[in-house]
Structure 1
Amino acid sequence: MGRIRADKPPASCIGCFAWGQLPGRLCRGCYTYGQAHAVAACAGCRREVAVHEEHGYCRLCRAQATWEIKAAGVTGRDSLLLPFLLQVKHQQLFFANTQRPRNGGRPVGKAGRKRLRVKPPAAVPPPTTNWHQPELITAARDFGQFDRKRHADLNNPQLIRARREALALGEARGWTRWIASDVDRALVIVLSGHVEGEVIRYSEIFPPLRSRGLSVGHTAEVLDRLGLFADDRTPSVDRWLARKLDGVAPGIRRTAEDWARTLLDGGPRAQPRALSTARGYLHEVRPALLEWSDRYDHLREVTRKDVLDVRDGVSGHQRENRIVALRSLFRHAKKTSQIFKNPAARIPIPRPIEPVLQPLDQADVDEAVTAAARPHARLILALAAVHAARPSMIRALQLDDVDLGNRLIAIADHIRPLDDLTYQTLVEWLDYRRNRWPNTANPHLLITQKSAVGRGPVGKLRATEATRNLSANLERLRVDRQLEEALTHGADPLHLSLVFGIDEKTAIRYAASARQLLETAAEQDTHEDRH
């Protein structure tokens, strides 16, 4: 978009309704937004405008949600937008071209930048010196005052190497020209004054790059590939443990923290568990640890009666979950010689009677089908409703798992034949994926605008957004499919295990529910015949 004439009358942007002098029918922000996203119906204001593929909202709704986040004092990235997007009920209009940098220069973001034509720099070998002056003290560098005209040194050997590495990485990952330009600008900022032996820390580059709207993650990845990056952030698991074990007695806390880290990382003769398992276990034992901390200094003082009191303080599935977590904790403490006797050993758990699984109503299924209006949503719905795939399995699917020629798909290493419905939705999604992101190198079947430039799976919200808050969500659809198989082909656990690849306990539960449903239906038919 060109410059705006000084005598041009103000107008309203057709995208976000911003009022001011516009270069065309759109403001600069909406023009850039439209270049990066496709036109569809916004999930908030229902207008046919450019919407973000991750959430399905337009720029105006996302701006309103961002203002709500700032007003609430919440900090975070796009993952925090969705709860606020769902609460948008009105739109606060604003003036165009009012976002200016503090030092009075050009507007921040893509509107004020000059388009960079990134040319492959000449190949420069790594520095060959064998000695460099080590740092006497570690001092944080301030990149916030960087000015390209005064401070840029495009002949710096490390900068030349980094720009070539970024160019190669961008071609391999399918970066857009905007991402490549952002990474190039960020590398110029952090490496123009770089000397041999210096290490760039995350805490040094995050504030200046984020304030300029540049990608910190992609820049850090390029620096890390060159051995110039050090991640000095506090691991999230450390913050989580500190928060969960706050208020626990020091002796009990040491044992509980060692147990939690063994669950996460594994140990001698112990396999690492899933993060959700470790979080669930610690969540269950935390009330007991806080209660025991008022009386004891170490887990050695906990008696069997204390464990029984904790068990009897809850009911249902929570009672079973709490005893399982306490068994794991005391088993680890006994194994590592931190206690003399395991007070949680051989404590019976009265298991609750499992309810009979019920099939979904056809109206609920039709509602879910109507809600899945986009290609990725239809594919996810078909995988859950036809192949009983969990959301985590759907997110982990890769292109190599699909064999369209032989009409086969491998879900969690279990090969399934493709029915006509799934085959059609799969072909439709692959066509959309190829046209939307032709240069992506992400091997996963499902991708978004954000994951297309990387190699990771889509987020959890992306997989469940279409059927969220519906009666027929993905989990209910998966259960209904397996129950329908048991009702149609007989309550045979072996058949269910072979078809869906589930374990024997789950197959037995589905078979038992199907058997009870069939018996109830037969009794009702007999009762009607008698009358």
Structure 2
Amino acid sequence: MTCVHCGKPLPEGSRRDRAYCDNKCRGLGSYYRRKAGVPPPPRWQHPALTSDNHVLRSAAAHAKQLGEANGWSPSLVRCAMDGLTVVLGECPPGKPVKLTEVRARIPRHASSLRVAEVLTELELLEDDSVLAVRSWIENRTAELPAGFASDVRAWLLVLLDGDSRAKPRSRTCAYVYFGGVRPLLENWATTRGHLREITVTDVMAGLSPLCGWQRRNAIAALRSLFRFAKKRCWRWFSSVRVSR
């Protein structure tokens, strides 16, 4: 891209709607244009707004409308259109886009939340995230020894779905909690055959090398796991107290 007034190349990484190399050229260009009676050039618009793909074109227009209605910044609207271009550019017309695909494919500068919001309004989003996290739970707990897998799987599913005694937690909570206890479970499995065999000494030994946020996450996750196990799985089990 070059400056429309002096023809000088624009710096790399410039905004796509940038037309001048600096404010001086902008002012001079405007002055000579008015002096010659030439109308101003058309404002830059995102290519998605004029795409041959009618689904992408309508999605980009809807993103613009949502942005105006909800106070999105121009940059946020452009980034949402970038994300829509990626997920809808090669998608068959009318076929819903999976939420997991949106999160995996859109550029890093685009907001998956905004892209998903636009697709939802157009009934083009398929929320498969719950199925994805269930598949993740099955795959990760299957890697644990049999004496640990079933109880940990049941615990994670209750975190996800909730039950009569607990409200559902977010998917992020399930990921963080399992990430906090997994190293401990794998270490205990080398000397213990079942989760109910874990003692306070085992817990303290597992927590001792940890510090900071890793220790806090592990403690919160262990408390949740043993509280769940005592109430729902091992009613005869004397609780393991996890202290800070």
Instruction: Please give the range of the TM-score, normalised by the shorter of the 2 chains.
Output: 0.5 to 0.7
Distance 1:171 1:33, change over 3 A: closer
Long gaps (5+) in structure 1: 6-21, 36-113, 122-147, 353-531
CA spacing shift, 1:259–1:33, aligned 2, 3 Å = farther
**TM-aligned CA deviation for residue 342 of structure 1:** 0.9
- 1:228 equivalent in alignment to 2:124: yes
Please give the secondary structure, in 2, of the residue aligned with 1:220: helix
Among 328, 340, 344, the alignment partner of 2:239 is 344
Residue among 96, 109, 113 paired with 1:199 = 96
CA–CA distance in structure 2, aligned partners of residues 257 and 312 of structure 1: 23
State the shift of 1:229 in Å. 1.5
1:299 aligns with 2:195: yes
The answer (yes or no) to whether the contact 2:155–2:225 under 8 Å persists in 1 is: yes
- 1:165 — aligned with what? 62
1:207–1:333 CA distance, 2 compared to 1 (3 A):
closer
Distance 1:202 1:263, change over 3 A: closer
**Residues 200 and 229 in structure 1, CA contact (< 8 A), matched pair in contact too:** yes
Question: 1:225–1:250: structure 2 CA closer, same or farther, 3 Å change rule?
Answer: farther
Which residue, 307, 310, 315 being the options, matches 2:202?
A: 310
Give the one of 266, 270, 291 matched to 2:166: 270
Which residue is equivalent to 1:59? Answer: none
Contact 2:160 2:174 in 1 (8 A): yes
More helix by share: 2
Measured in 2, the distance between the counterparts of 1:203 and 1:316 equals 35
Q: Shift of residue 291 of structure 1?
A: 3.9
Q: In structure 2, do the counterparts of structure 1 residues 33 and 239 end up closer, same or farther at CA, with 3 Å as the change threshold?
A: farther
CA distance in 1, matches of 2:112, 2:221: 39
**Match of residue 116 from structure 1:** 45
What is the deviation of 1:228?
A: 0.9
In the alignment of these two chains, the number of paired residues is: 212
Change (3 A) 1:321 1:342: farther
- Conserved 8 A contact 1:330-1:342: no
Structure 2 CA distance for partners of 1:192 and 1:254, relative to 1, 3 Å? closer
State the one-letter code of the partner of 1:260. Answer: L
Cα–Cα, structure 1 residues 215 and 265, in superposed 2: closer, same or farther, change >3 Å?
closer
Equivalent positions of 1:85-164 (< 5 A) are 115-116=44-45, 152-153=52-53, 156=54, 162-164=59-61
Shift of the 307–117 alpha-carbon distance from structure 1 to 2, 3 Å rule, reads closer
Secondary structure at the residue paired with 1:29?
Answer: coil
Supply the distance in 2 between the matched residues of 1:320 and 1:340 (Cα, whole angstroms).
Answer: 27
1:169 is displaced (CA, Å) by: 0.3
Contact 2:119–2:125 (8 Å) recurs in 1: yes
| CA-CA distance at 1:207 after TM superposition | 8.2
Query: 2:105, 2:170 → 1: CA distance?
Result: 35
Q: Deviations over 1:433-478 (max 9, x none)?
A: xxxxxxxxxxxxxxxxxxxxxxxxxxxxxxxxxxxxxxxxxxxxxx
Indicate conservation of the 8 Å contact 2:147/2:194, yes or no.
yes
Deviation, structure 1 residue 249: 0.8
Match of 1:250 among 122, 127, 146: 146
Spell out, residue by residue over 1:105-148, the C-alpha distance to the aligned partner (whole angstroms, 9 max, x if none).
xxxxxxxxx92289x99xxxxxxxxxxxxxxxxxxxxxxxxxx5
1: CA distance, partners of 2:102 / 2:220? 44
Q: Distance in 2 between matches of 1:328 and 1:275?
A: 15
8 A contact 1:170–1:180 mirrored in 2: yes
What letter is aligned with 2:66?
L
| Superposition TM-score, scaled by structure 2 size | 0.55
Tell whether the 8 Å contact from 1:326 to 1:344 is kept in structure 2 after alignment: no
Q: Secondary structure at the match of 1:270?
A: coil
Q: Is 1:260 the equivalent of 2:156?
A: yes
Q: Which amino acid aligns with 2:145?
A: A
Match of 1:2 among 1, 4, 22: 4
Report the CA distance between 1:171 and its aligned residue.
0.3
Which amino acid in structure 1 is aligned with residue 234 of structure 2?
Answer: I
C-alpha distance after superposition, 1:62-103 (max 9, x if no partner): xxxxxxxxxxxxxxxxxxxxxxxxxxxxxxxxxxxxxxxxxx
